[in-house]
Amino acid sequence: MKHTNFSLRVFILLTGLLLGPLSWAACNYAPIPNPHPDGIGKSYCDRQISKVMGWQGAPWLERPQRLQEERTDLLIQKLNLKPGMVVGDIGAGTGHISTMMTERISPDGVVWAVDIQPQMIKMLQKKAESLPKGRLQIRQSSEKNLNLPDRILDVAIMVDVYHELEYPRETLQSLMKAVKKGGKIVFVEYRAFDPDVPIKALHTMSVAQVQKEAEDLGLKYEKAESLSWQNMITFINP
């Protein structure tokens, strides 16, 4: 009996030693030898990272049929924003979503719109000029840092952005620092493996993949909701 216990303990120890590093290593970066043409040649957490949508795609973000196709009105409604809230739009692009959010947090709330492309920053500045002063604050991020003040956001949203972050781990860590404890981080990603979603595969993500990557950094899963083309996955910042 004693012998069995000893063998069992050795087995558990060896299994732990072998599998421990493997599970810990699940959310690491790795180069991809034969990358997909839409990817950057690097994976994170076993997912190929996609190329960034260039600023030349700005008209697509502003297309009039976007509301019908993506039900952006439902997206905003589901965020349950209130006047006075401080909200982050990470990877804000042209500011289409930021502008919609400013209507919900007025008269005294603020939207912080962040993007990495200087051309997008210019378009955001133009949008800010047509809004009351200070309503839309703009920050240019770097590859790993969002350049936001600490613990300022009640809610942060990334609409069609996370899958194309070059450094998702560091960028999400930077976002977690900017969101208040108990605040929310919402990922909006085109649904993977859905033939009705007319989007390139590398620009889509499954709920399970988002959850795996977010929970790896300690975010607490709250819920996943469906929009017409996207999933909206909400986490609480611990």
DSSP 177-225: HHEEEEEEEEEEEEETT-TTS-S-GGGEE-HHHHHHHHHHTTPEEEEEE
Q: How far apart are CA 124 and CA 28, in angstroms?
A: 33
Q: What is the DSSP letter of 160?
A: S
171 binds ligand SAM (CB under 6 A): yes
161 binds ligand SAM (CB under 6 A): yes
From 24-32, 33-41, 110-118, 147-155, span contacting ligand SAM (CB under 6 A): 110-118
| Dihedral angle of Cα 102, 108, 114, 118, to the nearest 10 degrees | 80
Structure tokens at 51: 């190329």
115 binds ligand SAM (CB under 6 A): yes
Among 49, 124, 128, 159, binds ligand SAM (CB under 6 A): 159
* Closest by CA position to 171, among listed 137, 148, 202: 148
141 binds ligand SAM (CB under 6 A): yes
Among 45, 49, 75, 92, binds ligand SAM (CB under 6 A): 92
Among 61, 101, 121, 214, binds ligand SAM (CB under 6 A): 61
Q: How far apart are CA 213 and CA 204, in angstroms?
A: 14
* Nearest to ligand SAM of 46, 143 (CB atom): 143
CB of 164 to ligand SAM, least distance (A): 5
136 binds ligand SAM (CB under 6 A): no
105 binds ligand SAM (CB under 6 A): no
Among 91, 138, 178, 202, binds ligand SAM (CB under 6 A): 91
Q: How far apart are CA 106 and CA 123, in angstroms?
A: 21
Q: 102, exposed or middle or buried, with CB in 10 Å at 0-12, 13-18, 19+?
A: buried
* Nearest to ligand SAM of 52, 220 (CB atom): 52
114 binds ligand SAM (CB under 6 A): yes
101 binds ligand SAM (CB under 6 A): no
Q: In what order do the strands lie in the sheet with 47-50?
A: 29-31, 39-44, 47-50
Give residues in contact with ligand SAM (CB under 6 A): 52-53, 61, 91-93, 96-97, 114-117, 120, 141, 143, 159-161, 164-165, 171
